[in-house]
Structure 1
Amino acid sequence: MSTPQGQRRIVVGIDGSPEALAAVRWAAAEAVRRGASLRLVTSIEWLDRPAIGPPIPGHSVADSLFELAGKGLDEAADAAKKIAPEVGVDREAVVGYPVAVLAGESRHAGLLVVGASGHGRITSLVAGSVAVGVATHASCPVVVVRGEDHGRTAPVVVSVDPSHIGEAAIAFAFEAVSAHGVPLIAVHTWGFPPGDGRTAPMWGELIDDAERELAESLAGWTEKYPDVPVRRIVSHSTAARRLIDLSEEAQLVVVGSRGHGELVGLVLGSVSNAVVHRAACPVAVVRPART
């Protein structure tokens, strides 16, 4: 579990790729808003494998890898300082596999930030399934930085799931929009399986139920944050499709996660997984706190 000091630390996964640098810039701006420090971490996993070629002349394989990692961390630190010169930055190269390294770092952080599809010169730290693995196993919320920068006045979109998983995502989203001073779009989708037998005249009852679930899920939070403008959307759609569509106008999409297993969003299945891979803006994956 993160300590109070850790709650004020944002950890960023670095792999020497442009995507990782985009994650650093996003995290640096977020650190200013949170009054947080930055910790830049890269993973060196190749030391556990046989050498595939000669080291740099005059260097061991390990020395060469750490030198390369150091250059990547220096580049990332410079990018952070350009965005937020007042933010404290520390950096470290850690031997281990990317998901395990970042999951370990997350235990002492308030937020973990990674790029969407890095294939860097140090290691493929956040490529494809690795980003999903980090989001699944981290002990703190994870932001996967991807897509376009739609501006810091753009809304935040949150998936509303009337469960303890959805509650954690809602809490994160309200805190984010309150700090950023932007509107919140709260989305709840509904539907029924093919062949269910219900017809259009019966949809009214389903819509009423969905609107009630959305209102009940938001009730305490709208009272806690009365100044936050909330746009409510109840949609007969697949959750992933609706969230991906809304990401075109958002600065952040927030979804829930079970942790240590399948990612979930508004419905059971691969909703969060789809959003992480296809959203047009950064995605925050939030899991309930351990009890």
Structure 2
Amino acid sequence: MTGSPERTAGGPVVVGVDESDSARDAVRWAAAEAARRGAPLRLVAAFAPIPAGHVGNPGLGTSYRRVMTEAARGVLTSAAELAAQVAPGVATEAELRTGFPVPVLLDESDRAVLTVVGSRGLGGFTGLLVGSVAVALAARGGSPVAVVRGDPGEGAEGDRPVVVGVDGSPTGESALALAYEEAALRSAPLVAVHTWLDDMLEPALAPMIDWAALETEESALLAQRLAGWSEKYPDVEVRRLVVRDRPARALVAESAGAALVVVGSRGRGGAAGLLLGSVSHALLQHAHCPVLVVRPDGGGSG
């Protein structure tokens, strides 16, 4: 796995929790991942500071903090019990932090080997894992960020492949490195997906284009980008898939039978200044399985 030594040497699997079903799915998945990696599990619940309009009301502030603290501690206790059911041998710690979800989890991600969130949460003051939080973490996280959605595939990882999009970009290379490691951890096959489509040429020149030759070229390009990885991971079965389609649509389709989809935060077509590319954003919204987003430096934008 690419990433800083701090993240790869003993960092925990961090998971954000709230009362939502999505967060409970994230806790289950994160506990299994911690067990798989031999890493500790860190459960984090956050509640927002006192609403600005009531800062000058000491009574309300005290009541708000007490109620929110009790509720959040209950959520952490429930999450810890759930994690123990999934991975009883994993060292687990829980912490309640005051703050807004994004900065709290971004800070946690800087010391994590993996940061896990649900795809959606409750919203409001008690909700931690709203969709915008998952997107923000995927774009800016200090570690790879897993957004748990669809069917996590518990107990069937070896039968389901890890899917990765391959486009030759810096984030794509980081995603490829991480995808091989994830496949090796699961003893699962790896499906390397390379897509190609030229909307500008196809309508006018389709009758004159040798599509078979183009597909052969794209297949050779995929083989080139995978060169060397088989030597590093000889036990990982690799299936190459070259598709004349848009990347997001092809990867969403492949996610239906996958244990995990790995994607770079920004691909070859990413616009400068965008923290999260259209392909990774589409997967976070529509994938049928958990999505793991990585940056070129091993974190979550490049």
TM over 0.5: yes
Q: CA deviation at 1:149?
A: 3.4
Conserved 8 A contact 1:17-1:120: no
Q: CA deviation at 1:129?
A: 1.9
Against the structure 1 CA distance between its residues 108 and 100, is the aligned structure 2 distance closer, same or farther, given a 3 Å change threshold?
same
2:224 is equivalent to residue 216 of structure 1 = yes
Paired with 1:231 and 1:61, the residues of 2 have a C-alpha distance of 54
Greater mean alpha carbon deviation, residues 188-197 or residues 129-138: 188-197
C-alpha RMSD over aligned residues: 2.6
Paired with 1:194 and 1:7, the residues of 2 have a C-alpha distance of 49
**3-state SS of paired residue (1:263):** coil
2:44 is equivalent to residue 41 of structure 1 = yes
Q: CA deviation at 1:194?
A: 3.4
Q: CA deviation at 1:60?
A: 2.1
Paired with 1:286 and 1:4, the residues of 2 have a C-alpha distance of 13
Equivalent pairs, count: 285
**3-state SS of paired residue (2:88):** coil
Greater mean alpha carbon deviation, residues 230-239 or residues 93-102: 93-102
Against the structure 1 CA distance between its residues 90 and 49, is the aligned structure 2 distance closer, same or farther, given a 3 Å change threshold?
farther
Structure 2: 5+ residue stretches without partners: 268-272
Q: CA deviation at 1:193?
A: 2.4
Paired with 1:149 and 1:5, the residues of 2 have a C-alpha distance of 23
**3-state SS of paired residue (2:157):** coil
**3-state SS of paired residue (2:50):** helix
Normalising by structure 2, report the TM-score: 0.87
Q: Report percent identity of matched pairs.
A: 45
Match of 1:152 in 2: 157
Structure 1: 5+ residue stretches without partners: 265-269
Match of 1:135 in 2: 138
Paired with 2:200 and 2:182, the residues of 1 have a C-alpha distance of 37
Q: Deviations over 1:212-268 (max 9, x none)?
A: 22111111211211121111000001111111111110010111014983323xxxx
Paired with 1:107 and 1:144, the residues of 2 have a C-alpha distance of 17
Normalising by structure 1, report the TM-score: 0.90
Paired with 2:23 and 2:52, the residues of 1 have a C-alpha distance of 24
Match of 1:186 among 182, 187, 192: 192
Q: Deviations over 1:120-158 (max 9, x none)?
A: 686332222221111101011000001013322211101
Over 4 Å off, 4+ runs: 4-7, 54-57
Paired with 1:138 and 1:66, the residues of 2 have a C-alpha distance of 26
